[in-house]
Structure 1
Amino acid sequence: MAGIRDGLGALWLAPDGANMIQQDGRWVTWGEVRVLAERIDEQLSRVGCDEGSRVGVVLGNRMESVAALVAILGKGRTIVTLNPMQPAARLSSDLVSSKPQVVLGPSSAWKETEFFSAAEDSGIVGFAVDGVELRQCSGGSSATIEALHTEGHPVAVEMFTSGTTGPPKRVPLTWRQLDSAMSAVHGHTGAAGPERDPLTGRVSLVFLAMVHIGGLWAVLQALTEARPFVLLSRFTVDGWVTAVSEHQLRVASLPPAAMRSVLSADIPAEKLSSLRAVTAGTTYVGPDLAEEFTHRYGVPVLIMYGATEFSGAIAGWTKPLHTEWWARKRGSVGRPFPGVHLQTVDDNGEVLPVNETGKLEVRAGQTGKGANGWLRTSDLAHIDEDGFLYIDGRADDAIVRGGFKVHPEVVSNALRAHPSILDASVYGKADDRLGQVPVAVVELVDGAIPLVEDEVKTFLRGQLTGYEVPVDIHTVDELPRGVSLKIDRRRLLELVADLEAARV
């Protein structure tokens, strides 16, 4: 299978009338995408943005984002992802901190004064992209170009991840990493298949946010394999089921939160009869949930494990593996992909024997360290005698809410910015549908009036992404602390349990 850039180049062999992206019930042709991609490429070249340059994209799930990917990555440029789900102030701050040479976004983003000012004041050349129209909104006739390389390898994508500890950080993914990851996926699943005409063959489905590695990867795989695909702006049960039924999909992804939604909706089995397997990842997938779905629809759930730092998945199940091993290995996330090596280590870095839990380390071409170096993750895991990987927990305190990581300190800092809140603590609470959800406990400034929870949540939505906003905000007279003045988590949970019991 050719690399991603070669795969993008092969799209030009497709006829203009070929269906490429189905969105909102309408097919967008390759010709429409090509025209916009060529216009973007022309304007980027006009301002001096050629191979190696960094281009920011407000990356929503829409045709314009796909055309931007083709124009940027197809010419060896770097895409800097910007999250459209953020409030304007945070999106603008992200733009300033990442400072791409050029930024592309919808007109709705440019109508926000903060976003326009951030681009203009930073000297960033900016374009509004809507439909096949491209309009310059900021900057002059040229951009200051500075290519980014990691250990000598050119970078293809810069995107946010939670990292191993601390607040989210931007991680560079090199062309080497992405091509290695694509090769590993094809080796694991045989997804590339035989040679065929571009934009023919089975349709794929993308509904995860493209600004998340899961959504971006699904689009890159469809583009590299020159496959038509359905692009949903977000997951809905009706949208997912309609795509599966209309296009008779054989394989579709379904994270655990979405899987629970499908089960709760009691979808008739005949609507999903084409499915031969469902892949599940982005967050922990309980074996009970996987088996419930399999029992209901007769479709095996193939759990995958990956992360942004790995450029996608590095381990998982296949259908033959599931048939042979699931009954004995339930709870595992599968075996490593071809070219991926795994080990667990103790706190001193000593390699642990099979079946002993420790910090998971990965060695693969798709990590930043490459095939010759071990990358330590923030996950606790063990590997059994047959090479199956089990994720046992996390070494940090990140809350994983429906596949999105929420760092308690980021949310706590946003709460502390409220004029009535002196201090705050945030923790993860188990949730049947999303895995975990954030809950906040706050201590008020002396003399402050009691908080109205909905008003605080409205305040937080101006600073945080929607999935970071706590589901509950409890007020206590004083946050419990230990002798070191750190929050005493055990006593905090006891306080919350008493408050919740009082509510009932």
Structure 2
Amino acid sequence: MAIRHNGRVPDSFTEAFAAGLAGYGDGPCIEFDGRWYTGHEVSAYGQAIASALDAADVARDAPIGLVVRNRLPHAAAIVGCLAAGRSVSMIYSFQSAQAVAGDIEKLALSAIVAEGRDWSDAAVAAADRAGSAGVVISSTAPIVGAVPGLERRDTSRQHAQAEPGVALQILTSGTTGPPKRQAIKAAVLERTVFSVTSGERAAPDAPPEFAYWQFGGIGVCQLIAGIHNGRRVVMLERFTVEGFVNAIKTYGIKRSGVQPAVIRMLLDADVAKDDLASLEFLISASGPLDPETRDEFERRYGIPIRLAYGATEFAGSLCAWTPEMVEEFGESKRHSVGRALPDTELRIVDPDSGAEAAPGAQGLLEAKVAPIGPDWIRTTDIASVDEDGFVFLHGRADGAINRGGFKVLPETVRRVLVAHPDIRDACVVGVPDARLGQVPFAAVEVAPGTTPPPDDELRDLVRQHLPVYNVPVAFVAVAELPRNPALKVSLPAVAALYRG
């Protein structure tokens, strides 16, 4: 159901989004760092950025770059550009200054928007080489200004043009390597809103939308859905247990998407049951959640966890659970990520022949999403679909280790390792081997207050459950696995722990 504007239903996502933003007026729109910002205050950023870009001779349909953080000025910049129909290309701020500068130069955009701390000497020099105008945003007055020396774009330079229909270029989390940029069309953002909200329209007095995943990637979906539907949005700059719990308690939030690492962190922090009492359920996405962790959380807090599945290239979920599915299949299909959304077709294919697999058989997941196009899009996820249409995930094909012709699935080995009572989490990656090409290596996160299990004990554990070629050649025990800002384990960082 679209928001009505001037008595009619908007005929495009951009118009509907702009209507959602306009509807806040002087009412609360976004809460950040303990303060509510009104719709007018949020809109002021977009208007000031538009004026700065006009003064810099940047065309009104030219895409711009945003060195993004989960802060009010950046959220307002995203919202303002979407409402104006201007495309935004995300640049992660948590990279080194040199990496940010490299992105700025490579993108060759008419303008770059960033907070003052992100306008390093390297970033300014890169924008100058690219001929890009520079805009600085701030949470204090003046909220928008020009970067000295980058007041105007170099009109003699060729800059990237707008791609037809593209609203955003968002980034993957960079779990397996450098983040990849994915173009998302404005029309596809309609399904983003649907996948976040399951098509439900919240009442005016409903708890706010809760946004804390990184805005540079798929986390921006929470912000977009909230503003599109005229719902208040509470945002965190980064996840902390204290910040998460405080938001749940303060605003009576009923549901939230979480990464599996968040479930573990809440348990380890021994959060009081009453502090999470408003939650009706949590939605676990962005990676596998161990059944043991899920069971422990549900026993302790009495809050169900539902599994979901989506990807950056689809701008949201591909499948999910509905209340009706929970009622009929909640226990029997408990480990499923649900069924395909109404605008989505899913199938499992053999990775070599491309032939469609029988119900229950494992293969590569392919999706056809109506708003994206008529083609089947192959993912790198190994999955199966049962006779009732429920999807089960079994790992990632792009992480498979070829050990001298034997295929090792890291998630299969990881599941065995985390069953050890002294192992809280684990990660298995392929490392080079002169004879076999690749061999598995494991980093294990030791449970607090325990002693790392001997390597021989872990080898025997894997050998008891899996064929011998799955046994890692080496183990390293760490207090915490290396994670990126999306709270996913960084595979390159784990591989770097291997000493050969």
Provide the TM-score with structure 2 as the length reference.
Answer: 0.76
**Are positions 1:285 and 2:289 aligned together?**
yes
Tell me which residue corresponds to 2:126.
118
The question of 1:360 aligning with 2:370 is answered: no
Matches of 2:92 and 2:114, distance apart in 1: 11
SS at match of 2:165: strand
Equivalent residue for 2:300, pick from 270, 291, 296: 296
Q: How far apart, CA to CA, are the structure 2 residues paired with 1:65 and 1:122?
A: 22
Q: Does 1:391 align with 2:411?
A: no
Q: 2:493 aligns with which of 450, 466, 470?
A: 470
**Structure 1 stretches of 5 or more lacking a match?**
413-423, 434-453, 455-460, 480-504
Q: Per the alignment, in what secondary structure is the counterpart of residue 327 of structure 1?
A: coil
CA apart distance, 1:106? 0.6
Find the counterpart in structure 2 of residue 241 from structure 1: 245
Report the AA paired with residue 39 of structure 1: A
User: Within 5 A, what are the aligned runs for 1:86-97?
Assistant: 86-97=95-106
Q: Distance in 2 between matches of 1:51 and 1:201?
A: 36
User: Counterparts of 1:113-152 in structure 2 under 5 Å?
Assistant: 113-131=121-139, 132=141, 133-137=143-147, 138-142=149-153, 146-149=160-163
Contact kept? 1:125, 1:140, Cα under 8 Å: yes
Q: Distance in 2 between matches of 1:51 and 1:221?
A: 24
Tell me how far 1:15 sits from its aligned partner.
5.2
Identity of aligned residues (%): 28
Residues 319 and 285 (structure 1), Cα distance of their counterparts in 2 relative to 1, 3 Å cut: farther
Q: Decide which moves more: 35-44 or 347-356.
A: 35-44
- RMSD between aligned alpha carbons? 3.4
Q: Does the CA-based 8 Å contact 1:57-1:79 persist in structure 2?
A: yes
In the alignment, structure 1 residue 104 sits paired with structure 2 residue 116: no
Q: In structure 2, the residue corresponding to 1:31 is in which secondary structure? A: helix
TM-superposed CA distance for 1:122, in Å, is 1.0
Aligned partner letter, 1:123: G
Question: Cα distance, 1:41 vs. partner?
Answer: 1.6
Is the aligned partner of 1:330 residue 2:334? yes
Q: Distance in 2 between matches of 1:105 and 1:472?
A: 32
* Further displaced range: 281-290 or 138-147: 138-147
CA distance in 2, matches of 1:128, 1:35: 14
Residues 63 and 88 in structure 2, CA contact (< 8 A), matched pair in contact too: yes
1:50 Cα deviation after fit: 4.4
Q: Which deviations, in whole Å up to 9, do the C-alpha atoms of 1:266-317 show, x marking residues without a partner?
A: 2222221111111111111233322322222221112110110111111112
Q: Cα–Cα, structure 1 residues 15 and 284, in superposed 2: closer, same or farther, change >3 Å?
A: closer
- Counterpart of 1:64 in structure 2 is 73
Counterpart selection for 2:26 from 17, 20, 24: 17
Mapping 1:156-175, distance limit 5 Å: 156-161=167-172, 167-175=178-186
The amino acid that maps onto 2:185 is: T
Q: CA deviation at 1:255?
A: 1.4
C-alpha distance 431-388 of structure 1, shift in aligned 2 (>3 A): farther
Equivalent residue letter for 2:353: N
Deviation at 1:6, TM superposition (A): 2.6
In 2, Cα distance between the equivalents of 1:5 and 1:380? 35
Name 1:5's counterpart in structure 2. Answer: 14
Shift of 1:141: 3.0
The question of whether the paired residues in 2 share the 8 Å contact of 1:177 and 1:365 is answered with: no
Aligned length: 422
Which residue of the partner structure matches residue 177 of structure 1? 188
- Is the Cα contact below 8 Å between 1:316 and 1:335 reproduced in 2? yes
Aligned amino acid, residue 126 of structure 2:
A
Please give the alpha-carbon distance, in whole angstroms, between the structure 2 residues aligned to 1:82 and 1:249. 30
Match of 1:484 in 2: none
Report the equivalent of 2:165. Answer: 154
Cα displacement (A) at 1:185: 4.6
- Give the deviation of 1:468 after TM superposition: 6.4
> 1:161 Cα deviation (Å)?
2.5
Give the SS at the match of 1:208. coil
Once residues 498 and 260 of structure 2 are traced to their aligned partners in structure 1, the CA distance between those partners, rounded to angstroms, is 31
Q: Does 1:351 align with 2:361?
A: no
- Residue segments in structure 2 that go unaligned for 5+ positions in a row: 3-11, 401-409, 415-426, 433-437, 448-477, 479-483
Q: In 2 relative to 1, CA 175–475 (structure 1 residues): closer, same or farther, beyond 3 Å?
A: closer
Query: Quick one: distance in 2 between partners of 1:234 and 1:164?
Result: 18
Alignment CA distance shift 1:184-1:255 (3 Å): closer
Give runs of aligned pairs for residues 205-354 of structure 1, distance below 5 A: 205-213=210-218, 215-346=219-350, 347-354=352-359
Q: Distance in 2 between matches of 1:164 and 1:259?
A: 19
Structure 1 residue 363, shift from structure 2 partner? 0.3
Distance 2:489 2:337 in 1: 28
Q: 1:113, 1:86 → 2: CA distance?
A: 15
TM-score (ref. length: structure 1): 0.75
How far apart, in 1, do the equivalents of 2:318 and 2:226 lie? 18
Q: Quick one: structure 1 residues 208 and 180, their matched pair in 2 at CA, closer, same or farther if it must change by over 3 Å?
A: closer
Q: How far apart, CA to CA, are the structure 1 residues paired with 2:498 and 2:264?
A: 32
Distance across 1 between alignment mates of 2:192 and 2:307: 17
Question: Structure 1's 208 and 66: CA in aligned 2 closer, same or farther, altered over 3 A?
Answer: same
Q: Looking at both structures, which has the greater relative contact order when contacts are Cα pairs under 8 Å and sequence separation is at least 6?
A: 1
Structure 2 CA distance, aligned partners of 1:83 and 1:26?
Answer: 25
CA contact (8 A) 2:428 2:443 kept: no
1:79 corresponds to which residue?
88
Deviation digits for residues 154-194 of structure 1 (CA, Å, limit 9, x no counterpart): 211112227999754222111122223334555xx233346
Closer, same or farther in 2 for the Cα pair 1:314/1:12, shift >3 Å?
Answer: closer
